[in-house]
Structure 1
Amino acid sequence: MKFVKTDLLTLLISLFILSGCKKPDAVGLAIDPSEVINGTLLDTVSIKTSTLKDDSVVTSNLIASREGGTYYIAPLAYYKDPVFGITEANVALSMGTPGSVAFTKPTGTVTVDSAVLVLRYAKGFYGDTTSTNYKLNVYQLAEQPLNQTYYNTKAWAYNSALIGTGSFHARPSDSVNVLQIVTGAKDTLKKLPPQIRIPVNTAFVKSSILSADSLKLIGTEAFKRYFKGLYLTFDKAQTTGGPGGNFYLLTDSCSLDVYYKNTSTAGVIDTVMASFPASGNFASQIKHDYTGTVIPDALINGAAGKSSGTVYIQGLAGLRTKISFPSLATNVKQIIGNAALNRAELIITPVAGTQLYPFLPVPRLTMYRYNVAKQRTYIPDASTSDVRTYSLSTISNYLTGFGGFYDSKKNEYHFVITSYIGDLISGKTIDYGTFLAAADYDNTTSIEYSTGSVYSAGRLVAGNDKTSAYKMKLNIIYTPALIK
């Protein structure tokens, strides 16, 4: 009999809780279907958004997680987007001697057969791999990249003489077959990782490298001071047939490979391949041109603090979205009262027609906030030091739990921000500025908030119009407090 009474009491309490639901059909809503969250759904929270230019970012000696390891990468781009205009990224690349040791100059008669600048792809290509014919130009730098911090706004000085050029279609996933020179044996055809191969002027290589003073070749540091490095930029007039693309170079594996014959005074011919690697310092200059697009008006409204029905997010230090929830500390707090907050979930929807190839939505977004000093920092749900949120055993599960990844089937992004919303409702935290930005989808070790956008070349057009099917939504699920 005691158990029957207990069951009846439990049933009555459950009915009392469920009767308070403003939207009973929302009970049980969760990101993970295996989760069941019972309570009241509040999905009428007002959201204010605006589009802003992103801050300048450091592009020198970028280190990124790629393909299960950590590598140096550099963005290289020329991309024409009907919504976001033109994005350009040029690379300044310092070069070293083979093996970083003294290079022994060839003696006798030297004939350079060919010289090729090898640029390895890193993961993260964004753009057109089918219709665009890319043409990349190579120049010699007039200034040496030093071991210091360079931002994307740095314009690099380079000599006007074109020393290398090549046309190609982007093949970031296709290996290539290259004839490799084998000393004392027959040359062999070898399959190499995906790469761009740009022919370099042989006369320039012979005069500037193979015939250089020996003191300039005694090691990598001496060679850097003398040679300065290479400057890479797409030929805007001859990159045609499509919108272009945003590449990432695996600078650890880039090199200038020189193939030459050395004929001694005795008439002996020696065929040699010398590889001068990208070494030490590099940086990218990134520029965005929004002329003739909707972006300038969006930025004017954003600077004026006006909320916009459509927001724009762009990687490579382009655009970010400022987001706020002005009714949390007033209306929402009055509705919820002392209720237990079960879940707060932000849902972002790309506008239909803006996410078709090659203009795909950025694979991952990040969410961060300003502290009182207007410096970027984690929101509580993205902080590994917050005991309320960092409870999962692995960082990969943690990243997935926080969210920000694009779900192509639902055409949505989700962020679980329960702790942050709870702190804003209670007044524990003041919103000095909260932002959404592009992030590195391949980083499985952290949630970026500082330079994350430079690791992603993607973009997003998202809705926040209250009357739109693409409305940005904040779903709050809570359990009403029982009346005593």
Structure 2
Amino acid sequence: MYNNSFFKKILLVTSVVFLFSCDKDYNEIGGDLIGENNFDLKKETYDVLAYNQKTGPIQSNDLAINPLGIYNNPNFGETTANFGTQLTLSETMTTIGTRPHIESVVLTIPYYFDASKTVKKTDGSNVYVLDSIYGPDKAEMKLSVYESGYYMRDADPIGGFVQPQRYFTNQNAEFDNIKKPNRLNDDTNLAQNDKFFFDPSEHVVTTTDSITKAVTTTRTPPGMQLNLNKGFFKTKIIDAVASGKLATNDVFKEYFRGLYFKMEKSGSSAGNLAMLNFKDGKITIKYNEDLSTTTSGVTTVTRVKKTIVLNMTGNSVSLLDTDFTGSGLAYNALPNTGNTTEGDEKLYLKGGEGSVAVLSLFNAPGELDAIRKSGWLINDASLVFHIDAAAMANSFVPQRIYLYDFNNNRPIADYYLESENNTNPKKSKLIFGGNLNTDAVTKKGTTYKIRITNQIRNLVKHADSTNVKLGLVVTEDINIDAYHRVRTPNAFITGAPKASVMNPLGTILHGGNSTVPNDKRLKLEIYYTKPN
């Protein structure tokens, strides 16, 4: 019986392999296979028309991660990233005990760190290296956290509250002008306000048991920890329980309109910028109150410890102000829409309120029809983008770029062929590509490669397929394929990928213009086999 089962399995596997190998038209080939020119592969290259398109102010609410800080990009100007967020109650409240007294109010937001570089020392402490930080290490800035005066609606009243309300990158002045005047992070420790910096140190709390005298040490990874004004929260939260302001989250969000984080320069420091997951942030209010219990007619009053947690899981918005007077002059002088006829020499990809590159394939008359009539079996098609090394010499280079259907603001066919890697998004959809390639010696970024094999196959096989324009952007997370609307849609652009709004960086690539040196020029590369 075992042998019979074994041979059945062998027969099944052999059949699957045979059938798969017969389907030449959908055979994906890797770089090594192409390099060895197996199966008599041939290569053809085609010119690509590519030009710049600025987005202008763009929707920036409800992002997975948000920038906070100040970053002076050598090519795109100095951006100050502020932030506004609603607060939500982890538990609603309608009653509170007598004689409540606040012990502490602490705002916490975790930082990203590179776990592979964490060093555990013999005394039990840990040394961390922060990730997603741009600019000088430990650069001081002025951080102010205010009670927001801006009511962030969840739904848009235009259209009958059916669609979510949009908020945009250029609304910082609106939040700043109506913030409440008193800064909440007013601790005497200036590292929490006027000389704030993104500290990589772990947080250590030591407690001693009042009876056993046992000492307990708790260590947590680095993150923002700010002591907020206890008097404000006594009035705003504790004293408001009896009035029903904490009875539901809808009432609470109208009553306490959230927080506004404002960043400013501190002295001569250039500042820096961090990517933060504000959704994991919270405010923890620890307080004491009297608890009365009655047993056999005897009432006992006990002092008990209580906690109220305010989460940052409500609506939120990245608020970006960019000063172009210094390093951003050249970029700011670019037209909103580049040369749509001949293409641009340089392609400026910028995240946030940024810039998209628009690509048009098969522009020569009869070019696509000739391929359709040739009967080619397309094995691989890709676009290779060369970084302008001179322009980007002193800049942080984005780790990934993303290509999409620009006409319809959606992914192309090749994007859907791979499953997502949610545990490590940086390793997701590697065949589709877009990851930064670096020089083995200099360790500098050189190129990005994106495969569009199935996009081209569909165009060639189906005469009624639309040769759509393609959009190219920097991306913070390849798994996010949603799109955000520009504030002022026009004939040239209506939206851009949400993940590009999340990314604070930019890069400059060589375009497909005929003036670009041939070895750096953007081209479409197609590897194919001809039928016998």
Q: TM-score range by the shorter chain?
A: 0.7 to 0.9
The amino acid that maps onto 2:410 is T
Match of residue 122 from structure 2: none
Within 2, Cα distance between the matches of 1:163 and 1:402?
46
Q: Percent identity?
A: 20
**How do 1:51-450 and structure 2 match up within 5 A?**
51-54=52-55, 57-62=58-63, 64=64, 73-97=65-89, 99-102=90-93, 105=96, 107-108=98-99, 110=101, 112=102, 114-121=104-111, 125-128=132-135, 130-148=137-155, 149-153=165-169, 154=171, 155-156=174-175, 157-164=178-185, 166=193, 167-171=195-199, 175-178=202-205, 188-212=216-240, 214-215=242-243, 216-235=245-264, 237-238=265-266, 241-242=269-270, 244-251=272-279, 253-259=280-286, 274-292=308-326, 293-300=329-336, 302=338, 307-327=343-363, 330-331=366-367, 334=370, 338=374, 339-355=376-392, 359-371=395-407, 375-382=408-415, 384=416, 390=417, 394-396=419-421, 399-409=429-439, 411-424=446-459, 428-441=464-477, 443-444=478-479, 450=497
Bigger Cα displacement from structure 2, 268-277 vs 34-43: 268-277
Within 2, Cα distance between the matches of 1:202 and 1:360?
40
Match of residue 40 from structure 1: 42
Change (3 A) 1:474 1:263: same
The amino acid that maps onto 1:297 is A
1:213 positional shift? 5.4
Paired residues, number: 426
Match of residue 296 from structure 2: none
Q: Which of 505, 511, 526 pairs up with 1:458?
A: 505
1:230 positional shift? 1.0
Match of residue 21 from structure 1: none
Q: Please tell me whether the aligned partners of residues 368 and 436 of structure 1 are also in contact (alpha carbons under 8 angstroms).
A: yes
1:403 positional shift? 1.1
1:317-346 deviation per Cα after TM superposition (whole angstroms, max 9, x unaligned): 411111123545535765895033322110
Q: Please tell me whether the aligned partners of residues 368 and 434 of structure 1 are also in contact (alpha carbons under 8 angstroms).
A: yes
Within 2, Cα distance between the matches of 1:304 and 1:268?
76
Within 1, Cα distance between the matches of 2:289 and 2:465?
71
Match of residue 27 from structure 1: none
> What secondary structure does 2:150 align onto?
coil
Q: Please tell me whether the aligned partners of residues 47 and 473 of structure 1 are also in contact (alpha carbons under 8 angstroms).
A: yes
Q: Please tell me whether the aligned partners of residues 395 and 446 of structure 1 are also in contact (alpha carbons under 8 angstroms).
A: no
Within 2, Cα distance between the matches of 1:227 and 1:181?
36
The amino acid that maps onto 2:405 is R
Within 2, Cα distance between the matches of 1:279 and 1:181?
34
The amino acid that maps onto 1:319 is S
> What secondary structure does 2:508 align onto?
strand
Q: Please tell me whether the aligned partners of residues 281 and 311 of structure 2 are also in contact (alpha carbons under 8 angstroms).
A: yes
> What secondary structure does 1:234 align onto?
strand
> What secondary structure does 1:381 align onto?
helix
Q: Please tell me whether the aligned partners of residues 49 and 322 of structure 1 are also in contact (alpha carbons under 8 angstroms).
A: yes
The amino acid that maps onto 1:474 is L
Alpha-carbon RMSD across the aligned residues, in angstroms, is 3.9
Match of residue 475 from structure 1: 525
1:436 positional shift? 0.2
1:234 positional shift? 0.9
The amino acid that maps onto 1:456 is N
> What secondary structure does 2:455 align onto?
helix
Q: Please tell me whether the aligned partners of residues 350 and 461 of structure 1 are also in contact (alpha carbons under 8 angstroms).
A: yes
Ranges in structure 2 where 5+ consecutive residues have no aligned partner: 1-28, 114-130, 156-164, 186-191, 293-299, 422-426, 440-444, 484-495
The amino acid that maps onto 2:223 is Q
Change (3 A) 1:121 1:462: same
> What secondary structure does 1:150 align onto?
coil
Within 2, Cα distance between the matches of 1:324 and 1:77?
36
1:136 positional shift? 1.7
The amino acid that maps onto 1:407 is N
Within 2, Cα distance between the matches of 1:162 and 1:189?
32
1:171 positional shift? 4.7
Within 2, Cα distance between the matches of 1:257 and 1:474?
54
Change (3 A) 1:328 1:336: farther
Within 2, Cα distance between the matches of 1:132 and 1:34?
48
Q: Please tell me whether the aligned partners of residues 317 and 453 of structure 1 are also in contact (alpha carbons under 8 angstroms).
A: no
Q: Please tell me whether the aligned partners of residues 78 and 234 of structure 1 are also in contact (alpha carbons under 8 angstroms).
A: yes
The amino acid that maps onto 1:176 is H
1:231-271 deviation per Cα after TM superposition (whole angstroms, max 9, x unaligned): 11212x328533521422241x3122335566999998766
Change (3 A) 1:184 1:287: farther
Within 1, Cα distance between the matches of 2:305 and 2:405?
59
Change (3 A) 1:195 1:222: same
1:356 positional shift? 5.3
> What secondary structure does 2:312 align onto?
strand
Change (3 A) 1:210 1:356: farther
**What's the TM-score, normalizing by structure 1?**
0.74
Ranges in structure 1 where 5+ consecutive residues have no aligned partner: 1-29, 65-72, 385-389
Change (3 A) 1:476 1:182: farther
Q: Please tell me whether the aligned partners of residues 132 and 240 of structure 1 are also in contact (alpha carbons under 8 angstroms).
A: no
1:109 positional shift? 7.3
> What secondary structure does 1:163 align onto?
coil
1:104 positional shift? 5.1
Within 1, Cα distance between the matches of 2:88 and 2:482?
34
Match of residue 18 from structure 1: none
